[in-house]
Amino acid sequence: MVGKYLNSIIFMISIPFLFAACKSSGKDEKKPGAGGDKRPPAKVEAFVVTPSVLSSDIEMPGSLMPAEETELHAELSGRVTGIYFNEGSQVSQGSLLVKLYDGDLQAQLNKLRVQLKVAQETLQRYEALLKIGGVSQQEYELYKLSVNNIQADMSIVQTSIARTSLRAPFSGRLGLRNISIGAYITPATTISTLRKISQLKLEFTVPEKYGTGMKPGGKVQFSIDNNEQFYNARILPQKIILQQKPGA
């Protein structure tokens, strides 16, 4: 009896241990990372993205030039009788700068004026005679032609007189004066230079990869040495000439 009772107790007590062992084994299966099977945490690199404006500004050296610049030359050869400008002065378009001697041309013009006056009076008499049949139509037309020829000669002389006056082709600033009163000059003589500095041109070069960004009408900024102020400029249209290499 005692032996059977002890066996029953031992059997009943051993069941909880087996159940606990089975339950513990089930927990181990649910935690594969438990015990010596643990893995190190993975390393992750992150970047914070913030919006910003991309800029492709480039700095290039350049040269400032006048918007207009020309050398002043007389149209005719002659003696200088008047100089009407000062070196470095600002002049307006059409201002008289230099006058050449035109006495001989003025004498020719006066002579033609007298001839024209007499011819016009004669033409009026011919016109009256033509109405009463005193002259033929052909005679009247020939004399009318002579009047027109005199007027044409006067226009030629007046044009020559105008060419003895040198006037400013545009408004600008004059350079140094290279002539004096009484000097005999020719069209090859450089009298002075005239520059339009109210507007300036900026000449610069950029690498080829930036050429597509240089569009007519675009704006650029520039500064001058010893001057911290920035100025705005507008890109002008340019004509690009491509030269073919020999043998290509």
Widest distance between CA atoms in the chain:
188
pLDDT in tens, 163-184: 999 999 999 999 999 999 999 9
> pLDDT category, 54, cuts 50, 70, 90?
low
Q: Give the per-residue pLDDT at 36.
A: 54
Residue 113, CA distances (Å) to 150, 156, 224 in order:
8, 13, 60
What is residue 238's predicted lDDT score, i.e. its pLDDT? 61
Share of the chain above pLDDT 90, in %: 45
Tokens of 156: 């030629």
Q: In sequence order, what are the beta bridge partners of 221?
A: 232
Report whether 199 contacts 180 (CB < 8 A): no
Q: Alpha carbon of 24 to those of 16, 31, 104, 105, 201: distances in Å?
A: 12, 11, 135, 132, 91
- Position 52 scores a pLDDT of 66
Task: With cut-offs at 50, 70 and 90, classify the pLDDT of residue 42.
Answer: confident
With contact defined as beta carbons under 8 Å apart, do 171 and 157 qualify?
no
Q: What was the pLDDT predicted at 50?
A: 75
pTM above 0.85, yes or no: no
The DSSP line for 166-222 is EE-SSSEEE------TT-EE-TTS--EEEEEEEEEEEEE---GGGGGG--TT-EEEE
Structure tokens at 43: 């390393």
Q: Give the pLDDT band of residue 56 (cuts 50, 70, 90).
A: low
Those residues with Cβ within 8 angstroms of residue 175's Cβ, 6 or more apart along the chain or in another chain: 87, 88, 192, 193, 194, 195
Structure tokens at 190: 């450089």
In the predicted model, is pLDDT for residue 23 greater than 70? no
The domain locations on the chain are 102-163
Which range has the worst mean pLDDT, 8-12, 46-50, 65-69, 155-159? 8-12
Across residues 176-198, what is the average pLDDT? Answer: 94
> Is the pLDDT score of 208 beyond 80?
no
Mean pLDDT of the chain: 80
Predicted pLDDT of residue 187: 95
pLDDT classification of 155: cutoffs 50, 70, 90? very high
Region 41-51: mean pLDDT is 75
Burial 109-140 (b: 16+ CB within 10 A, else e): beebeebbeebeeeeeebeeeeeeeebeeeeb
Q: What amino acid occupies position 189?
A: T
pLDDT at 12 over 60: no
Alpha carbons 55 and 230: distance in angstroms, whole number: 18
Strand-pairing partners, residue 219, are: 234
- Alpha helical stretches, state H, the chain: 2-30, 103-132, 137-162
For residue 37, the model assigns a pLDDT of 57
DSSP code of residue 58: -
Q: Given this model, what pLDDT does residue 181 score? A: 95
More confident residue, 20 or 223: 223
CATH of 102-163, one of 1.10.3470, 1.10.287, 3.30.70, 1.10.1200: 1.10.287
pLDDT at 223: 80
